[in-house]
A and B are shown apart, each in its own frame.
Chain A
């Protein structure tokens, strides 16, 4: 990717990141969505996160087994309401451990 493309990339990423944060924050004030729209938006976070994890995590350079180990650790600790950072570090440790054993 050349310099021009990097400028386009960062500019584009910046715009599509900032606008969804800025528009509701400056405009929304007193609007409350209801019905299907409200329900739909409520499930977008879980849906997006899951779609991002699967199948990409299992096809990355590190390998499927370390990925599975780390995801399992993060999932279990998340269910146990452990602090987010602890879950992430534990997951990284689990993945590193599995990588060492392979």
Chain B
């Protein structure tokens, strides 16, 4: 396939993602504005971070008065999964791209772009991936701008439901993956540990992002041990 055809193909594949991103990006814009974040900060975040889950979390944490350090730590924890996705996708990318191109392409690896790219039959070309990510990115940033502008028109109750959207996204992503004992152990243990670190005075030195990180690391280690003991099949989560 010529490069132009690959771009067109990637762009078309990105359209459903962009449609979703316009809505979720607008939700983020509204939530951020409702929490007191300046429009420039919200749009800047969408431009430079391009990670919905962590942006929603950041909007909530900013409104709650959390420190910059703890929000950045929470962002690292939430987005670290993209390291695994990037590793996986790197194997599916057709070889030959320059380091600079790889770095640029890696910026656009999100849950949705990864999912669509991974589902393509065979290898994906840099042109395809670039177009896919560009279309998705446009939807995300565009949606954020719309959301920030529309926030004044929206009643407070609506913005609160938008704040929950983040968690519904997480559940919608996680639910299909809970298909064997170790994954259920990972999710269950993480929920318990996270609650423990949030409420039990002894552990409250860990707060916000650190609690999530510690809970996730502990739960994943436990799940890995469970899989090792049970000899479970090596299904990808």
Whether the Cβ atoms of A47 and B161 lie closer than 8 Å is no
Contact residues, A3-62 vs B (CB, 8 A): 5-6, 8-14, 16-18, 20-26, 28-29, 36, 39-57, 60-62
Answer whether residue B150 sits at the interface, using C-beta atoms and an 8 A cutoff. no
- Would A46 and B183 be within 8 Å (CB), given that A20-B86, A25-B87, A60-B160 are in contact? yes
Inter-chain contact total with CB atoms closer than 8 Å: 276
Among the 9-residue stretches B5-13, B136-144, B194-202, the one with 4 or more Cβ atoms under 8 Å from chain A is: B194-202
Q: How many residues of A contact B (CB 8 A)?
A: 67
Residue ID in chain A nearest B27 by CB atoms:
A92
User: Which residues of B have CB within 8 Å of A25?
Assistant: 86-87, 89-90, 102-103, 105-106, 109
Main secondary structure on B side of the interface with A: helix
Question: How many Å from the CB of A5 to the closest CB on chain B?
Answer: 5
Question: How many Å from the CB of B144 to the closest CB on chain A?
Answer: 13
- Would A44 and B81 be within 8 Å (CB), given that A13-B54, A36-B228, A81-B176 are in contact? yes
- Would A62 and B160 be within 8 Å (CB), given that A17-B49, A50-B186, A78-B174 are in contact? yes
Q: Contact residue range for chain B?
A: 35 or more
- Would A87 and B160 be within 8 Å (CB), given that A26-B99, A50-B191 are in contact? no
Whether the Cβ atoms of B82 and A17 lie closer than 8 Å is yes
Whether the Cβ atoms of A84 and B172 lie closer than 8 Å is yes
Whether the Cβ atoms of A44 and B80 lie closer than 8 Å is yes
Whether the Cβ atoms of B176 and A78 lie closer than 8 Å is yes
Whether the Cβ atoms of A6 and B41 lie closer than 8 Å is yes
Question: How many Å from the CB of B122 to the closest CB on chain A?
Answer: 18
Question: How many Å from the CB of B145 to the closest CB on chain A?
Answer: 16
15 contacts between A and B (CB under 8 A): A10-B48, A12-B68, A13-B49, A13-B75, A18-B106, A21-B86, A42-B224, A45-B177, A50-B174, A52-B167, A52-B212, A60-B163, A67-B164, A88-B24, A91-B165
Q: Which residues of A come within 8 Å of B, CB atoms?
A: 1, 5-6, 8-14, 16-18, 20-26, 28-29, 36, 39-57, 60-63, 66-67, 70-71, 73-79, 81, 84-85, 87-88, 91-92, 95-96, 99
Not counting A29-B90, A46-B183, A78-B173, a sample of 9 additional A-B residue pairs whose C-beta atoms are within 8 angstroms of each other reads: A10-B48, A12-B71, A14-B48, A16-B75, A25-B86, A39-B227, A46-B187, A71-B168, A99-B160
